[in-house]
Amino acid sequence: MPIWKRLLSALIPAAALLAGPVQAQDVWITPDLPFFEFESGGEFYLIERDQDNEAVIVDMFAKTSRACPPFCIQPFVVAEGVQTVGEVELLDFIEDHVEPGQWLFGRLTC
């Protein structure tokens, strides 16, 4: 058997093992949106939440009760005149304004 056939016969099962089983998503973005896929500049992107239900944030950010000041609630405004949007609004923008083949990351004209 040629060497390339032996390599191929070894690589295909190994690749299948590395891929792992396909699992249903339990952690969705919204109740109607398990993940978000789009194309930009010839590349495909997938936005999804971490599916690890045991994941935790680092201790530095884990405290929920810290003295104010300096740890006071801040307004959801970056700067005067700058419109602030959340994650769902960003996904809506991508869906409504980014056409397949158009670059999102770089120059974007609307």
pLDDT of residue 74 exceeding 70: yes
Burial category of 39 from C-beta neighbours within 10 Å (exposed 0-12, middle 13-18, buried 19 and up):
middle
Predicted TM-score (pTM) of this structure: 0.56
- For 76-95, the pLDDT digits (tens) are 787 888 888 888 988 998 88
Higher per-residue confidence, 102 vs 81? 81
Angle (CA) 56-71-89 rounded to 5° is 65
Q: Compute the residue count for the chain.
A: 110
108: which DSSP letter? -
- For 12-62, the pLDDT digits (tens) are 444 444 444 456 788 999 999 999 998 887 888 899 999 998 988 888 777
Helix (H) or strand (E) holding 18: helix 3-19
Q: In the chain, where are the structural domains located?
A: 3-97
